[in-house]
Amino acid sequence: MEAENRNLLIDGVKVFGIELDEKTVDAFDLYSMELLKWNRKINLTAVREEKEVVLKHFIDSLSVFSHLPESGSLFDVGSGAGFPGIPLKMVNPRLYVTLIDSVQKKVDFQNHIIRALGLKEIEAIHGRIQDQEVLQRYEGQFDVVISRAFSDLQTFLSLTYPFLKKGGMAVAMKGRGLKEELRLISERERVSYQLKKDHTFLLPFSPYRRSILVFEKRSP
């Protein structure tokens, strides 16, 4: 990773209360290198430049850091090339992370990175949360379910509800159109969840507007 991009990563995540040591920055360097290498052969992400990987994937993934518990189980739905679950695991080893994606080649890449970085207590599975076998295996197991680009807000809340423990959190990372998505949430989701946080901000060193919504699962 170029020195400019290493500094961008270090300074960018400081905004979210994260101090990266040299070993962790080196791990992100490896992640970026492998992502760009794999991306030349298979389509993992539309991002093609190292700086954009740092900004739009690494820093963006870690923007949710302060809104999550210090430990517990996290379910990253539609994780693509591992975002935000793998970066969150890299900076907080006390999280137990499960990644799920419906595209096998993306899960293959996730497993490759997990092995390359030597990460423990993290797994990547191929499937959809609508699949009955996935629901049977993971129902009611997670403290947090999270997604960066899985679906619209109502679909995300509806489909992930069964996977959360009582009092667990559903965290949606969004860009534009947030107010309209909130307005369209059905009465069912309004009863099932309580909106605890609604945080909108600019991604550090960029013009990109982001929003983080944190919902708490209510009792049935």
Query: Residue 38's closest CA among 59, 53, 58, 55?
Result: 53
- Residue 81, SS3 per DSSP: coil
Task: Check whether 180 has a pLDDT greater than 90.
Answer: no
Task: Check whether 177 has a pLDDT greater than 70.
Answer: no
Average pLDDT over residues 19-37: 97
Domain ranges in the chain are: 3-217
User: Which residues share a beta bridge with 122?
Assistant: 97
In angstroms, what CA-CA distances link 177 with 60, 66, 80, 115, 206?
A: 18, 23, 22, 37, 19
Widest CA span in the chain: 51
Read off the pTM: 0.95
- The 3-class SS string of 150-212 reads CCCHHHHHHHHHHHEEEEEEEEEEECCCHHHHHHCCCHHHHHHEEEEEEEEEECCCCCCEEEE
pLDDT band at 98 (very low <50, low <70, confident <90, very high): very high
Task: Check whether 219 has a pLDDT greater than 80.
Answer: no
Domain 3-217 classification at class level: alpha beta
pLDDT band at 181 (very low <50, low <70, confident <90, very high): confident
Average pLDDT over residues 124-144: 96
Average pLDDT over residues 100-105: 96
